[in-house]
Chains A and B, each alone.
Chain A
Amino acid sequence: MTEQVDPAPGVARPERRARPAAVSLAGAPALRLIPKTDVPQSAKDFKSDQEVRWCPGCGDYAILAAVQGFMPQLGLKRENIVFISGIGCAARFPYYMNTYGMHSIHGRAPAIATGLASTRPDLSVWVVTGDGDALSIGGNHLIHALRRNVNLKILLFNNRIYGLTKGQYSPTSEVGKLTKSTPFGSLDTPFNPVSVALGAEASFVARTIDSDRQHLTSVLQAAATHPGTSLVEIYQNCNIFNDNAFEPLKDSTSKDEATIRLEHGKPIRFGIGGHRGVIRDAAGHLKVVDVDQVGQDALLVHDAHDEDPSTAFALSRLSHPETLDNTPIGVFRDVRRPSYESAMSAQIDTAIARRGLGDLQGLLAGKDTWIVR
């Protein structure tokens, strides 16, 4: 049925690469079905001819640069990469990527991308969204994409404010936030996006920061090579309406003390010289302690592959919603389960194997027929 489709979705064979990039993720099993390029790529290849129009100083610039810089590592054909966004400042992202792209409507990008990814396993589909887009108007689509494990890479730019509509509080804004729409302070308890994703059965959840290019790139690498949905929360500074929202995690005098860098298989230690750490106390709660007092062996070893999400969830709760003290970044969870479109394709293959390729004439006739002469 697909002979008209050129190139036929999902059947393109990976090609041998001529010159591998410095870091190459092209061999990752998750990218198996996506055609590889044999032309060396650079960040420049991923820049479109469109003038970037975010406010000067916006954190989005750094994220765009990091993503464009990271793309060549995938070694994928540029035409097999798609960026889909909803509405918000971040949603302009696809216009700046020299790939296929769609700037859709508010909150719906995960749903649109689900339709694309589940019909085209030969594509690398990225969703760019914000805290309002993903967690307010599009909350339903986000959680369902996560539980289905559609092969999507969701980049959630969290600036804890509505930028495009000029400064109303968002679903991640701290309680009491003073904005145009909350002159007496906001009343709503904020979402913690990582907690939400973990509660929504996500198979990959990570957090990173716009200004830390190296960390951001490492998280993108892990997300891109995960089969299924990857949710990456990126703390992004909106210097116009919510400047310095993540300053404690960026300022050189405070960031090492405030940030917990999660690394799979390593004891969770942070602070200057690694003097602080995370333990599970007698009551089963996670607790931040002085390593000197408990000893290195008492520290919790981060296991991103733990099937049980409860420790990852507990880690996501460590950060203080206002001061951002004890904020973990890195990969919280990375577990394997079949992606939605692979399961969907498998059902189709099984049906064809069992019943043969559909016979339309037979279907139209059905079982009960009669002849009029």
Chain B
Amino acid sequence: MTRQTAAKPVQTLTDVVIRFAGDSGDGMQLTGDRFTVETAAFGNSLSTLPDFPAEIRAPAGTLPGVSAFQLHFADHSVVTPGDSPTVLVAMNPAALKANIGDLPRGGIVIVDTDEFTKRNLAKVGYPVSPVEDGSLAEYQVHAVQISSMTIEAVSKIGLSRKDAERSKNMFALGLLSWLYHRPLEGTRQFLETKFAGKREILRANLVALEAGWSFGETTEGFAVHYEVKPAALPAGRYRTIRGNQALAYGLVAASERSGLPLFLGSYPITPASDILHELSALKNFGVRTFQAEDEIAGVAAALGASYGGSLGVTTTSGPGIALKAETIGLAVALELPLVVVDVQRGGPSTGLPTKTEQADLLQVMFGRNGEAPVPVIAARSASDCFDIALEAVRIATTYRTPVFLLSDGYLANGSEPWLIPSVESLPDLRVSFATQTNHSLDDAAGGSDFWPYLRDPQTLARPWAIPGTPGLEHRIGGIEKKDGSGVISYDPANHDHMVRTRAGKVAGIDVPPLEVDDPNGDADVLVLGWGSSFGPITGAVRNLRAEGVRVAQAHLRHLNPMPANTEEVLRAYRRVVLPEMNLGQLALLIRGLFLVDVIGVNQVRGLPFRVAELMTAVRSVIDGTEQRTVIGTAGRYGTFVTRGTNGLPSIEVGGDSDEPFASDLPAAGRPGGDGPPDDAGSPSTTGTSSPNGAHR
């Protein structure tokens, strides 16, 4: 830092959550990104949550047009973007209105009062400015004329008023950077690259940035400023990374480590498109990207590339998976490697394109005709998207199978610090293609031919014989093939054998054991998670332990097949809680596979779990006061809904008993004293879901 700011008192904080909110044209994502990079460079641990509208340019100044970026940084390791902001920067009345409800009492609000005009206030239904009518009395409000001060500061540059005002996000960034002791140097360099060749715009942005900083330093409005000491992180070189970027880099790394050229077939879709963008720019890595005519062509071309010996990958979101299903089934039949990335978003249908959800699990598990098993793995954090891409490629190439890699909108756009791995430390993914015939003809001449479905006895993988290999010419296809020779076969016994073999191949995938975090080994409740809820679950478990609550945590990275010790882990605990951003999809699988009565914690708000909500839910499970509703994928419909106490339509299936289907439960888990609650309770956005109150 080049400036001395010692003039004002400095208060030390351990934890700050800032939310930048403005019109989608105000550059809030960029402001948030820059603050993130400054914060990372300063050495704090951090996690971010961009939250933007699906409309590219919703009408200016309206609630649907509000774009926000939340950043959580601390002097200790951070696992979530924060339940609620401690500081809200609102660039207009809509941004204030949309976000103020999330700010706890006493929080800091910084508003650009220049935007609080009669017209803008009216657009969001404020009769008078909330800054003036005392309705913000319980917050620390800083009313700052951000727009006009920006215009004045850059007036000498000679830009139009409109262009001048565009730099106001840099003014806000400068002010916040002063307030939290963030260095500006990185942002200066960033702006110089971004606006290279646009001298006036560059100067305006630099001047606005400085002006924001100086304003903080000199105004009486800000009496103190804050510092958050660097966090103690493992030693090494770091950068910040977003999930989609990490995923793209992971694929490139897998290409290099496998020796297979990377081919991406993809159709633009939110929130997956950034992977296509990233990879399209990496042509000097030999990456071929193909923007297909539709989702089906994206996966089909990837499969064609895999057939030819490339690393075929397709990237999409839930709606795209639905369209690709038939081709993925073909890949199952052809037994060729293929990586299918699903960056999940809110559904069904178009749903919430820019919001996050984990509701594609059952779609990727089962959304194909016939018995079409596909391995499924899920990333748990933005930086884990890198490692999981390598894992997807390992499974796909070793077992010659399509693999689903699940990410979601939260991981895709969220960023966190990443300890940059050394390339040599990455797994060795080398593969070999078939080059020799593999089957003896048993003729006098000792001849041999090539059988495309003659399997490796260990992995059950079939040989990958790519076109261009002499002597191995063969035909494959979606019609059932005879195991071994690969000729078309309608033989019932062979079909049964092939179905079981494909299932056995996937079930036999080598997967590391499920690790349990149970520091003292004395917990009797386990919180199980998968995918991006790792951060909030970890935060909740950490906080509960700090309060002296005994609780264990385990996170499933491999969802199909699950680790061999999964059942053992689950059965070692009295109760298992399973938070998911869906209505209980993994819960359904766990119940079906292991007959373990997991207790779902389910919410589908398009946003990650809040740590505090999870803490409440876990506490209630520990003390047995949780309310379980039947509305959930894992619910046994009928038993309780018919009582109509929760205001939801009732669905009656399978008998009129109030008792859970006791025979379904493990003997030890038959309903006892803590049977079904009389009142299932009104479903809340976050509620534990399960139809029966039977506990193990």
Q: Which residue of chain A is the closest to B426 with respect to CB atoms?
A: A360
Stretch at the interface among B220-228, B351-359, B468-476: B468-476
Which residues from 109 to 162 on chain A have a C-beta closer than 8 Å to any C-beta of chain B?
111-120, 122-123, 140-141, 143-144
Task: State whether B284 touches A100 (Cβ < 8 A).
Answer: no
Partner of B476, one of A101, A105, A122: A101
Majority-rule SS of A interface residues: mixed
Q: Are A347 and B283 neighbours in the complex by a CB distance under 8 Å?
A: yes
Structural contact, B238 and A98, CB atoms closer than 8 A = no
B249: which A residues are within 8 A, CB to CB? 363-364
Interface string of A327-362 (1 = CB under 8 A from B): 000000000000000001001101110111110110
Q: Are A116 and B307 in contact (CB under 8 A)?
A: yes
A interface footprint on B311-342 (CB within 8 Å = 1, 0 otherwise): 01000000000000011011000100000000
B282 at the interface (CB under 8 A from A): yes
- Taken together as a complex, chains A and B put the C-alpha atoms of A365 and B421 apart, in Å, by 9
Pick the contact of B304: A81, A98, A112, A369 (CB < 8 A): A112
Residues of B within 8 A of A373 (CB): 235
The digit string for A67-108, where 1 denotes a CB below 8 A from any CB of B, is 000000000011111101000000000110111111111001
Q: What is the 8 Å Cβ interface bit string for chain A, positions 300-331, against chain B (1 contact, 0 not)?
A: 00000000000000000000000000000000
Taking CB atoms, residues of chain A closer than 8 Å to B309 are 5, 9, 119-120
**A114 engages B259 (CB within 8 Å):** no
Which residues of the partner chain B approach A357 to less than 8 Å between Cβ atoms?
284-285
The contact of A370 among B41, B259, B282, B302, by CB within 8 Å, is: B41
Of the candidates B238, B288, B334, B475, the one whose C-beta lies within 8 Å of that of A118 is B288
Contact of B259 with A123 in the complex, beta carbons under 8 Å: no
Selected contact of B237 from candidates A3, A119, A122, A365, CB within 8 Å: A365
Contacts of B420 in A (CB 8 A): 364-365, 369
Is A48 on the interface with B (CB-CB < 8 A)? yes
For the complex, count residues of A whose C-beta is within 8 A of B. Answer: 70
Q: Closest CB-CB distance, B255 to chain A, in whole Å? A: 6
Instruction: Indicate whether A366 reaches chain B with its CB closer than 8 angstroms.
Output: yes
A369 touching B237 by the CB < 8 A rule?
yes
Query: Does B305 lie within 8 Å of A102, measured CB to CB?
Result: no
**Shortest beta-carbon distance from A17 to chain B in Å:** 16
A53 to chain B, nearest CB (A): 9
Cβ of B308 under 8 Å from chain A:
yes
Q: Which of B297, B423, B471 contacts A361 (CB 8 A)?
A: B423
Q: Is the CB of B304 within 8 A of A1?
A: no
Contact check, A358 vs B282: say whether CB atoms are below 8 A apart: yes
- B132-173 contacts to A, CB under 8 A, are none
- Shortest Cβ gap from A120 to chain B (Å): 4
Which of B24-32, B100-108, B428-436, B687-695 is the contact stretch?
B428-436
Does B260 belong to the interface (CB within 8 Å)? yes
Residues of A within 8 A of B334 (CB): 102
Does A55 interact with chain B (Cβ within 8 Å)?
A: no
Q: Determine which of B296, B306, B329, B473 lies in contact with A78 in the assembled complex, contact meaning CB atoms within 8 Å.
A: B473
Q: Does A112 contact B303, Cβ atoms closer than 8 Å?
A: yes
Cβ distance B294 to chain A, nearest Cβ, rounded Å = 6
A residues whose Cβ falls under 8 Å from a Cβ of B: 1-7, 9, 12, 35, 48, 50, 77-82, 84, 94-95, 97-105, 108, 111-120, 122-123, 140-141, 143-144, 344, 347-348, 350-352, 354-358, 360-361, 363-366, 368-373
Q: Besides the contacts A4-B430, A100-B474, what 17 more A-B pairs have beta carbons closer than 8 Å?
A: A1-B260, A9-B468, A99-B473, A102-B476, A112-B300, A114-B290, A120-B467, A347-B283, A348-B284, A352-B284, A358-B282, A358-B285, A361-B422, A364-B420, A365-B420, A368-B239, A370-B40
Interface residues of B (CB under 8 A from A): 37, 40-41, 43, 186, 230, 233-240, 249, 252-253, 255-256, 258-261, 263, 265, 282-288, 290, 292-294, 296-297, 300-310, 312, 326-327, 329-330, 334, 420-423, 430-433, 435, 466-479, 487-488
